[in-house]
Amino acid sequence: MRPLMRPALLAAALIALGLPVQADGLKRLDTGADSKGWEAVGRLNLDGKGFCTGALISPNLVLTAAHCLWDRKTGERVNAGKIEFLAGWRNGRAAAYRDIRRAVPHPDYVFSSDESIDRVQYDLALLELATPIRLPSIKPYETARLPQKGDEVGVVSYARDRAEAPSLQEVCHVLGHQTGVMVLTCDVDFGSSGAPVFSMAGGVPRIVSVVAAKAEMTGQKVALASDMEGVLQVLRNALETTPAMRLNGTALPQIGGGTRPRDGAKFVKPGP
């Protein structure tokens, strides 16, 4: 997750949007009953250097934030072969564990530690799993059209103070749009990067974006997310031309490869 952006950097995006900055609280998804329907959201462990949140949009594809693919301290790309997706990670167990075969950021995304709202509009990435997840309990999410100002959305995320179980904020709101960026009242923190933003229309959660950054407005927390219109096909096209990676950083053949799937609950060492 990016550092907090300074209020001045958000002024152009937030001024005169006309909605209060407020949102309902977070609900920790600690039990199987609480987590039902959210199992396709998982934690992305990043080579032992941190974690982000991601969500399945097909049996073998995870959507997350582009900046999760970089080490924030060194500015270097994280080897895709050293990223692991823990579907439904909850209190030391996951419903499925998968290594990542390929990972691509949006072609127009440029990583930087600078605090800039301009970078948020391309802060999306697509990760291909080494082996698809095909379990009845883990159903990938469909995507939906971009929500409009005032619409209700929800977020399921892991974060620095809730790394061992996801939390659901079922109702927050779209404050507005600015140059490819949505401003939301959702409560996010470090680790929430890449968390799916859901439209809850009709009672069926559909992904409309992912969390890219957190910020403050007049002392209140807000979240920034990338507009996702037309982006998925761009990412799929980029993925097709990206070689798969081994753990040692060398490329796998384009056909074949992968690792044995690991399904079911088991204890693993929690990420940092």
Three-class SS of residue 80? helix
Residue range 187-237, pLDDT digits in tens? 887 768 999 999 988 889 999 999 998 887 777 778 999 888 889 999 999
Supply the pLDDT for residue 115. Answer: 61
pLDDT at 117: 73
CA quadruple 170, 229, 52, 118: dihedral sign? negative
What's the pLDDT at 18? 38
Rounded Cα distance between 160 and 249, Å, is 28
Token code pair at residue 193: 């990067």
Closest CA relative to residue 43, chosen from 195, 172, 238, 246: 195
* pLDDT recorded at residue 229: 84
User: Where are the strands (E) in 70-195, listed by range?
Assistant: 83-87, 96-105, 125-129, 152-159, 162-178, 181-184
For residue range 99-113, what is the model confidence (pLDDT) as tens digits?
999 999 999 999 987
Measured distance CA(177)–CA(95) in Å, rounded: 36
Instruction: Report d(CA 104, CA 265) in Å as an integer.
Output: 29
pLDDT of res. 141: 98
Q: Would you state the pLDDT for residue 209?
A: 95
CATH numbers and ranges of domains, the chain: 7-247 (2.40.10.10)
Q: Quote the pLDDT of residue 247.
A: 43
The CA distance from 174 to 169, in Å, is 13
pLDDT for the residue 214: 84
Q: Three-class SS of residue 4?
A: coil
Task: Please tell me the predicted confidence (pLDDT) of residue 8.
Answer: 40
What's the CA dihedral at 54, 55, 61, 67 to 10 degrees? -30
pLDDT for position 264:
41
Low-confidence ranges of the chain (pLDDT < 50): 1-23, 246-262, 264-272
